[in-house]
Each structure stands twice: as structure tokens, then as C-alpha cells.
Amino acid sequence: MRNVLLAATTLAAARGAVAGEVPGALLTLEVSAPLPAGFVVSALPPRFVLLEDGQVFVAGASSVGAGRLDKAEVKALEERLALVRKLPGLGSTIAFGSASVPRSHLLAPKSKLDVVATGDPASAPPALRPLANLVRDLSSFHHPSLRPYEPAALLLTVKEGLLVGGCRPWSLPVPLAEALAGPRTVSASEASDWPTGATPAAVCDGDRRFVVTLRPLLPGERP
């Protein structure tokens, strides 16, 4: 599982849309950077999500790992968030360096933190080091409890467009015309043979071609 997540991380997950609301989320990190051609940035799960009960989710380009932190580990992260919250002059947008990527969005409602940071955390000035180190650590997070996550539901998105290679017929439970009108939630069991996350599928319908993505939804997530 670790190798899958680390390999996905090297793809430098980039997101074009924020994740839906996850009830009980203590901490969420989304990281944006260039993706290889063919990937769909808007279908990426958030990079790191910690729930108040200790459940943790770590995502790459397509796969998600789920685990659980103990109370001491959760407290340690809360203490790091408290240090970030106390940084002098911390605003909603900061720059670690001159580069515009990666773009990291750290959200911790209980700690009253909602920060977007641009640039490499390694380039951060000393005053921003607590935030930079936290972003760095969450971006490459691993925990021995992590196991492959099997979502109950997926967020289906369909756009007209071309992908390199062949295409498959439409077989999902939502009518294609309805899916084209906007994102829909489908049961994961009804799409078990479809790729998930930023890895798209190409669908043919007559002469028309479509790009289809299925983003894994976290427990209770409302897209």
C-alpha cells in the first residue's frame, strides 16, 4: 500500500476543484502541482484527511489509503496546528517561495485555519517553517495502519473530449445524458471495473467521445 501511495504522490497531484464537505474532518490538505498528460485534475481525492475520531485517509492520483491514528498521534497534530495558528501575521494566502506551484490548501476548522500556500515548503523562510514542515509531512504521510480504502460511493463526472487509445461503451447505471448534465453519485459496486481518481476512462457513443472520471468519496462526503 505504501508503494502505491508514494508512487501516486510522485505524480504531484493537482486539483481543479475542492473536495466536498467531509463531516467530522479535523484536518484536510489538498496539494496541486502539474500532472502528466491524460490525468484529470478535478477527479483527485484530497491528499490527506484526518477525522475527529482518528480515521485518516491518504490519497494519490487514483488510490486512497485508510487507517487510524491513536489519541496521542491526533493530539500531536493538533499541537502542530496550534503552533501554525500562532504564527505572526499568518494570512489566508502565503508564499513559501517565488514559485507558484505546488499549491497547498490546509483546512482545519476546529483550529480556525484555512491557508493556501504556494511554492516548495523547503524554500519557506524561518518564520513560516512550522507551516511548511506540516505541509511537507502531510504531503508525504504514511502510517502503518493504512490499508486500501474501498469507498461506498464515487462521484461520476462526464465531459465530451478525446483520450489517446480506444474507448469503452457506457455501462454505468446513470444515463449518459444525465451524467453530462452534471456530476452524479454512483455506488462503487456498480462501477467496479472502471478506473477511479484522476485516471479517466474513454467512452464512445456513436461518433461522440467522452472523458469519464469517478472520484472516490470519503465517508459522509457531500460533493
Q: Where are the domains of the chain?
A: 2-147, 151-216
C-alpha 27, offset from chain centre = 13
Q: Can you say whether residue 12 is alpha, beta or left, with left for phi > 0 and alpha for psi between -120 and 50 degrees?
A: left
Give the pLDDT confidence score for residue 19 in this predicted structure: 56
Asked whether the bond before 36 is cis by omega within 30 degrees of 0, the reply is: no
Give the pLDDT confidence score for residue 20 in this predicted structure: 62
Residues 54, 70: contact at Cβ < 8 Å? yes
The Cα–Cα gap between 73 and 146 comes to 14
With 60 as the cut, is the pLDDT of residue 11 above it?
no
Determine the average pLDDT of the residues in 82-96: 95
With 60 as the cut, is the pLDDT of residue 34 above it?
yes
The pTM of this model reads 0.85
Tell which residue, 67, 52, 55, has the closest CA to residue 2: 67
